[in-house]
């Protein structure tokens, strides 16, 4: 993780999940309620602006960390598929295919041998 953007987004995403961030959100919400009750248009606009800025900044930060986590999860699953002799290697890199191809493979997997029809729970011997 050498890239400064990755370090920044990781730090911000971790901060967004902390109790301090919740406290900051409550303070901004309290400021907005105070402005609404006292009829201060400038204060209300300021609270609205602060909320909009935080929202716009957090969206790409959280999306980047979600994309990185998803890529790591796919790599781990691909490694498990490679390690299992019974698994089909055609499933590796499935996330790079079109939706139609993925649905076709899901249909093949669902209707393949070893699947149960008409029963929602496996038989226990």
Residue 9 lies in a domain: yes
Domain that holds residue 53: 4-84
Residue 100 lies in a domain: no
pTM over 0.85: no
Residue 25 lies in a domain: yes
C-alpha distances in angstroms, 76 versus 62, 70, 79, 93? 21, 10, 5, 11
As for how many domains the chain has, the answer is: 1
Distance between CA 112 and CA 62 in Å, rounded?
38
Residue 22 lies in a domain: yes
Residue 92 lies in a domain: no
pLDDT of 1 reads: 53
Residue 123 lies in a domain: no
Residue 33 lies in a domain: yes
Residues 1-52 pLDDT 10s: 568 887 887 788 788 778 888 888 888 788 778 877 887 778 778 778 888 8
Residue 48 lies in a domain: yes
Residues 45-94 pLDDT 10s: 877 888 888 888 888 888 888 888 888 888 888 888 888 877 777 777 87
């Amino acid at each position: 993780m050498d890239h400064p953007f990755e370090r920044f987004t990781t730090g911000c995403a971790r901060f967004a999940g902390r109790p301090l961030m919740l406290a900051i959100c409550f303070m901004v919400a309290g400021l907005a309620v105070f402005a609404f009750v006292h009829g201060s248009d400038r204060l209300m606009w300021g609270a609205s602006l602060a909320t909009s800025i935080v929202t716009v900044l957090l969206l790409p930060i959280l999306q980047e960390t979600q994309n990185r986590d998803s890529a790591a999860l796919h790599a781990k699953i691909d490694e498990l598929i490679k390690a299992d002799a019974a698994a089909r290697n055609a499933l590796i890199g499935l996330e790079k295919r079109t939706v139609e191809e993925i649905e076709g493979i899901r249909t093949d997997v669902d209707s393949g041998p070893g699947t149960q029809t008409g029963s929602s729970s496996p038989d226990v011997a």
